[in-house]
Structure 1
Amino acid sequence: MNNNDNPIDPIDVQVGGDADPGGIAQTITSEDIQALLLSPDPVDTRLEALKQMRAELEARAAADRGEEFAPLIAEIDDAIAQLSGGEALG
């Protein structure tokens, strides 16, 4: 099978092994959010990136049985509020 034709790249790891991701494989971290918040990029660019991060987490929220996304979404909302002068997403 040619992986170039497959949009999903499976990870070949032993369940419970060192490379097995815990919980939901998290691609967005608190560090990513802080890096965007403090980036020298224009505010509009940073706001758009934060909103895209939030949308991705919301789209994956149905699979979030351990409430791993809620703190990240709250952190993104805080960052958006800081960048937009106190105007938070609601």
Structure 2
Amino acid sequence: MPVEKNASIIDPVDAQIGGDADIDGIAQTITVDDINAVLMSPQSVDQRLETLKSMRSELEARSHADFGNDMAPLINDIDAAIDQLSVGS
């Protein structure tokens, strides 16, 4: 039975997983789309390089808990993006 709190009926069983009302997780993930968005951003090359290096540092810091080796391809993509931006520098 739903629990009424603050004049609102809330029943977690009825909540759609992954829906628009779904609460974000604690760990925000970095995706290939995020890397490409930074690479193609209208920001200066220096700003994009700084952002990519920050993303790489975050992934490296979290890699100790990466038992499935899921972060290695993302780190490789970031390295490739950094190399691509560094060619003209």
* TM-score, length of structure 1 as denominator length: 0.67
Deviations 1:15-42 (A, max 9, x none): xx934xxxxx552110000000001100
Q: 1:86 to 1:68 in 2, by over 3 A?
A: farther
In structure 1, the partner of 2:46 is: 44
Distance of 2:66 and 2:88 partners within structure 1: 28
Instruction: Find the partner of 1:67 among 51, 69, 83.
Output: 69
Runs of 5+ unmatched residues, structure 1? 1-12, 20-24
In structure 2, the partner of 1:28 is: 30
Deviation at 1:85, TM superposition (A): 0.3
User: SS at the partner of 1:67?
Assistant: coil
Which entry has the higher C-alpha Rg, 1 or 2?
2
In structure 1, the partner of 2:17 is: 18
Distance of 1:42 and 1:31 partners within structure 2: 19
Moved >3 Å (runs of 4+): none
Q: What amino acid maps onto 1:65 in structure 2?
A: F
Q: 1:66 to 1:26 in 2, by over 3 A?
A: farther
Runs of 5+ unmatched residues, structure 2? 1-11, 19-26
In structure 2, the partner of 1:84 is: 86
* TM-score, length of structure 2 as denominator length: 0.68
More strand by share: 2
